[in-house]
Amino acid sequence: MDEDRPILKASQPVKEMKLQLAVSVACHSATSFVDHLGEVLIKHGKNSVFAQLEMHWTKCSKLVTHVIRPAFKAHLKNQLRTQKFAILEP
């Protein structure tokens, strides 16, 4: 880690933005796309929450694997337990 950069904890809006970005990228493109998208958001998002974005494909894929996927899985399990579903054959 670079000694000149202070270690800062991300604020709640930054955390939410990172999670929403990871979900969007995972649903609509490859996680490698977040590298380029992050640079564009930082460049054009000065004085906003985007200026604090520090996320590349590695962090994006870890968020999807370790945070988002378990949350969606738990939500789906809960829905399957509490709601009726119809299974239709083609």
69 pLDDT band, cuts 50/70/90, is: very high
- In this structure, the chain runs to a length of 90
Which of the pair, 67 or 49, is modelled with greater confidence? 67
Between CA 32 and CA 3 the distance in angstroms is 28
Crossing angle (nearest 10°) for helices 33-44 and 12-28: 140
Instruction: Please write the tens of the pLDDT for every residue from 22-56.
Output: 999 888 888 888 888 888 888 888 888 888 888 88
State yes or no: pLDDT of 12 exceeds 60: yes
pTM: 0.68
Between CA 55 and CA 31 the distance in angstroms is 11
Mean model confidence pLDDT for the chain? 84
Between CA 57 and CA 60 the distance in angstroms is 5
Q: Where are the domains of the chain?
A: 12-80
1 pLDDT band, cuts 50/70/90, is: very low
What percent of the chain stands above pLDDT 70? 89
